[in-house]
Amino acid sequence: MRHSQNSILLKSIATDLGFSYCGIAKAEFLEEEAPRLEAWLKRGYQGKMSYLENHFDKRLDPTLLMPGAKSVISLIYNYYPEKDLAKENPTAYKIAKYAYGEDYHHVIKDKLKIFLQRIEESIGHVEGRAFVDSAPVHERAWAKKAGLGWIGKNSLLLNKRMGSFFFLAELIVDLELEYDGPIKDYCGTCTACMDACPTDAIPQPYVVDGSKCISYFTIELKEEIPAEVKGKFENWIFGCDICQDVCPWNSFSKPHTEPQFAPANELNTFSKQDWEEITEDVFQKIFKHSAVKRTKYEGLKRNIRFVSEKK
């Protein structure tokens, strides 16, 4: 009974803090994921993202990340914008929707700290660690296990009521709770995401070749972008939303209500010329608190050059 009451309490705190969904799974070794992750790495789909090869065991076993862990609390935080800037100005360069506003790592991490405080205030001392796309946490696998959605053919978590334009976050705690179960896969025979990817980064359902993804080329890759993908970026210069934009489940996306995710005013009117002439000072001003800073000024200029040059 206590486990059930505590689970209800945690889900209530999640709602209060603006999370759309909260699911709970038992902290245990992810047996099903181990061979999949190993095969993915062996194929070289991580590209130059060598950090994905590190801490293999920790990615699959939360008790190695936090000794004494009993539960993984998975959370969804919506970032779908009021205005899709790529559609508002279709001839301009595009950045992924998740990067419109302030860096989600900071926005959500602050909420998770409050979450842990609220748990302690309500239940007593609890050991816990918070994660937002950080550390070797297999977040989509945990969200699936906690019943927040299913893994789509583009390898993203899909939720029947809100699609996939959301961030995932986790709290790993030493608290036993009532656990949620996974839900079924609702992709059916649809292959919209696979068909739409201009760089063929989804070679088979549920498997993404990270080394061919536009997000990889424009964010993770630190060297020059390979010539063979020239002309395939469809004006994306930071990240890419193509496989999400075409997903039928994203027709259910509703705009977020997080003021910190609102785009900088300049982005609403940025033209191709503005992007091409962007100075380091302007870059620092607009993207001071943005995830776009991850690619750095020189990286963004490289992306713009690559997309703007003719084949």
The residues assigned a catalytic role are 133
Residue 46 near residue 40 (C-beta atoms within 8 A): yes
Residue 172 near residue 58 (C-beta atoms within 8 A): no
- Whole-angstrom CA distances from 128 to 1, 14, 68, 153 are 22, 15, 10, 32
Residue for token digits 């992709």?
A: 187
- Whole-angstrom CA distances from 199 to 28, 38, 196, 243, 253 are 36, 24, 9, 11, 25
Residue 246, exposed/middle/buried by CB under 10 A (0-12, 13-18, 19+)? middle
Residue 118, exposed/middle/buried by CB under 10 A (0-12, 13-18, 19+)? middle
Q: Provide the token pair at 169.
A: 């976050």
CB burial string 11-22: b at 16+ within 10 A, e below: bebbeebebbbb
- Please name every residue paired with 130 in a beta bridge, in sequence order, or none if there are none: 171
SS3 106: helix
Q: Which of 8, 9, 297, 20 is nearest to 167 (CA)?
A: 20
- Please name every residue paired with 23 in a beta bridge, in sequence order, or none if there are none: 74
